[in-house]
Each structure stands twice: as C-alpha cells, then as structure tokens.
Amino acid sequence: MFFPYKDDNPRVLFPYVTYTLIAANIIIFIGLNILSFQKTIYNPIIIFGFIPNSFNLLTIFSSMFIHGGISHIFGNMLFLYIFGDNVESILGHTKFFIFYLICGFGAALAQYAVNPHSTIPMVGASGAIAGILGAYMIRFPKAKVHVLAVIIIFITTFIIPAQIVLGLWFFIQLSNGLSSLGIDTTGGVAWFAHIGGFIAGIGSINYVQNYNFENS
C-alpha cells in the first residue's frame, strides 16, 4: 500500500476554493453525524447519496459532500489538499470549482453507466477529486510526490514523479473496477466513479481552462 502525503510543487494562487471545499466537507460530515446521532435525521447517506436506480441530478451534487466514515473523508480530503491547490492555480478559483463539479458529475455518470439499476447509494468527493488527480498528472507529470509506503511490516517513504504515483493509482482503480464487473455487491468502493472522474479530469482540463465563461 502507498499513501501520498505531500508534493514539492509550489502553487501560484492561494487555494481559496480547495480549502473551502475541504472545510465544507468536514463541517457537513460533523453536522450530519451529530444530527444522525440525535436522530434528527435518518441515514443521510440514503437521503443525500446518489442512487443510480433513482437517477437525480440534485443527489449527484449532494453526494459529493457526503462521506461514510472518518477514513473515507480523511483520505479524500488529504488528496484534495495535496493536489487541489496546483490545479486551482492553473485554472483560477471560479474555473476550478466548475471543473470540480464537472469531474464529480462525470464520475457519477460513469458509475451509473456501469450499473444503472443499482440501489446502493454512492457518496463521497472521490470522483471529483479523481478528476483533479487526472489533471494534475498531465499538467505536472514530473512534480515530486512524497509517498508513505507500507511493505509487509516495514514503513518507508519515497519521492516519486506524479505521473508514476497517479498513473499507478489509476491502474489500481481500473483493475479493481474491471474485477468487480458482474459481481453482486451490497456496497464498497465505486471504482468506476473514480475511473470516470479521472478520465473526465483529463478530458476537460484544457476545455475549462481555455473557455471564456464570462462571454458565454
């Protein structure tokens, strides 16, 4: 297993949107858990998650801000913190937010395309963040990423180019996604949301950066 924990890629702009997204996800996670514990709200994953069998554009959006547990939100926010600031620097604040949403919607549509009859709610920001990883990989392929690696019982660190770290990450998602096809599961990781988000990020980064939204 390996876990990126920082990069050596200096940012140009202060990442207001990246930090706002991180704060919003954490606040929503804590707030919904408090409400759920108090029984004020029943199972926010079902209420706000995206269920392919009940296709709803609003829940595609809301699902990006819902997480299933501490490890789920920690991993997503860590990746957003590491890689989001540099992508925000090249896009600017507004375009970065639009890009984030495009990747999130692309991720949900990919998962829907693979299993449109699923009744399992999909939640998490990982699809949108996967798009950021895709954009980072093609825009900063040689950026140095610090990785914590667990090898059997040994823990060590490496500094690896982003194209290798993120390329390997995508390969793992693709391998697991293809292995999951045709398997009836009751939950787990939405592999094709990760795959779809990553591809959406690669495919839309140039378009979003060059498009003039003010004159549209």
pLDDT for 193: 96
Name the band, by pLDDT with cuts 50, 70 and 90, for residue 32: very high
In this model, does residue 123 exceed pLDDT 90?
yes
What is the per-residue DSSP string for 30-61? HHHHHHHHTTSSS-HHHHHSB-GGG--HHHHH
CA dist., res. 160 & res. 147, Å (int): 7
Pull the structure tokens for residue 41: 């709200």
What is the C-alpha R_g of the chain? Answer: 17
Q: Quick one: average pLDDT of 119-141?
A: 97
174-193 residue pLDDT tens: 999 998 886 655 567 899 99
Average pLDDT along the chain: 92
pLDDT for 154: 84
Domain edges within the chain: 2-215
Q: For residue 85, give the nearest of 3, 147, 14, 23 by alpha carbon.
A: 14
In this model, does residue 216 exceed pLDDT 60?
no
In this model, does residue 91 exceed pLDDT 80?
yes
- The architecture that CATH gives domain 2-215 is Up-down Bundle (1.20)
Percent of the chain residues topping a pLDDT of 90: 78
Q: Quick one: average pLDDT of 165-173?
A: 96
pLDDT for 148: 92
C-alpha atoms less than 13 angstroms from C-alpha of 61 in its C-beta half-sphere? 5
Reduce the DSSP state of residue 161 to 3 states and report it: strand
User: Quick one: three-class SS letters along 164-196?
Assistant: HHHHHHHHHHHHHHHHHCCCCCCCCCCHHHHHH
37-62 residue pLDDT tens: 777 777 889 999 999 999 999 999 99
CA dist., res. 172 & res. 50, Å (int): 24
Q: Specify the length of the chain in residues.
A: 216
What letter does residue 124 receive in the DSSP assignment? Answer: -
Name the band, by pLDDT with cuts 50, 70 and 90, for residue 83: very high
Which range among 17-26, 31-40, 45-54 shows the weakest confidence by mean pLDDT? 31-40
Q: For residue 202, give the nearest of 110, 139, 156, 158 by alpha carbon.
A: 139
Q: Which residue has the higher pLDDT, 90 or 216?
A: 90
Residue 65 neighbours by CB under 8 Å, 6+ apart: 24, 25, 28, 48, 125
